[in-house]
Structure 1
Amino acid sequence: MRKICLSRKALEEKSKKDEWFSSLQYLNANINDLLISNSFLDSASEFCYMDNLAINALEWKVDKPSDFAIKGNSKHITKALGWFTDIPISIKDKDGKIVKATGNFTHIDNGEPEPMLCLGMTWIRKVQGVLDPNKNQFRMKLHGKAYIIPTFSKALVVKNLPKEEQDQASADSSFSSLTGDRDLKKSV
């Protein structure tokens, strides 16, 4: 019985993570001449951050060292490796005009296979941004001008469960169908 409870808890946590992932709106952003296609707006995070691959590609050194941990929107806790301040982010609006807005970014090591940039709520508020995932756009105001930035969502990648979890999921569904059958017989 304990194993069933753990499976349900794990499924609930996975569901929360999937819900967070599906709420992200991606956009194409440039820092200097580096296109970071894995850039996203995360209204659930206060921090803006860049990963090791982006920092290494830009050949930057940390502006300000840091020594704290960041707990993201999953169970994963990441150590902040430093800060970068007043970094200009370039994005294109729907008419192809390049818009630049600066931000402060935490340097993290997340082990991702491609450069990543997260624009969190501090940056979103700075540009008076409003996410509209239904229209795949991000509206922002900068220096008195309004811009509409096209965004997109990424589909969830479903990984195969390990054999043990597949067996447990099968046992869980068999258990619920057995109890359901038993309850049905009782009510007849």
Structure 2
Amino acid sequence: MRVYIPAVSSQLRAPEPPSEKGWVADPPAGTDAEGIELLEDDAQTEAALGSLLLLRDHPENAPVRLVLAVDTSTATPIGESASGICCVQPGPLTWRDVVAFFVDEDEAASNVEACIGAQTQVEADEAIALLWERSLLWHDATERPALIARFSRSDETPLPLGDER
């Protein structure tokens, strides 16, 4: 199953990917391919919102939404499926389980910062609406070292380029 997991940039450097919780499409029987794709987008959106919550608690990270797309057969539902998506607790993961990353472009930083810095619900709603006009960019799992380098502070040594999955 494809699980979408929220993350922050510093987690890319960890020995294993985050596995606290994620979202999966849980289509009702008879859902067509287009409907399944829409549910996958909804699961990814929930993970992107989760990434913003992580950023609010860890603002030292790069101001981007970051979602890991992971293929795993071990994920336990947390609660009931709602609107065709379900929150799950993945089992132990390795970087080889990650098939893609979804990340904001650099130009979205001010929108992300507005979201995590919002002081009122109205400010948050307005900031989210602007941010959601921007699509997350797809990156293959082999691009993890390049993403680490992109988000590294100048005092850090990025991982060597190559397949570090």
Q: Say yes or no: TM over 0.5.
A: no
Bigger-Rg structure (1/2): 1
- Of Structure 1 and Structure 2, the greater helix share is in 2
- Of Structure 1 and Structure 2, the greater strand share is in 1
- TM-score when normalising by structure 1: 0.22
- TM-score when normalising by structure 2: 0.24
